[in-house]
Amino acid sequence: MAKDSYFYALGRRKSATARVRLIGGKGEITINGTAAKDYFADSPYLLKELERPFTVLEQTGKFNVSVVVSGGGHNGQVEAIRLGISKALVLVNGDLRATLKRADLLGRDPREKERKKFGLRGARKQRQFTKR
Written as tens digits, the pLDDT of the chain (132 aa) is 566 789 999 999 999 999 999 998 899 999 999 999 999 998 999 999 999 999 999 998 899 999 999 999 999 999 999 999 999 999 999 999 999 999 999 999 999 999 999 999 999 999 999 998
Residue 132 lies in a domain: no
CA distance 110 to 108: 6
Q: Cα separation of 46 and 37, whole Å?
A: 10
Look at residue 55 and tell me if it is in a domain: yes
Q: Give a yes or no: residue 42 inside a domain.
A: yes
The verdict on residue 119 lying in a domain is no
End-to-end alpha carbon distance in the chain: 75
Is 108 inside any structural domain?
no
Q: What is the pTM of this model?
A: 0.89
CATH at residue 79 = 3.30.230.10
Taking a C-beta distance cutoff of 8 angstroms, is the pair 80, 12 a contact? yes
Residues contacting 3, CB < 8 A, separation 6+: none
Indicate whether 69 belongs to any domain: yes
Could you give the dihedral angle defined by the CA atoms of residues 60, 87, 5 and 72, in that order, rounded to the nearest 10 degrees?
-90
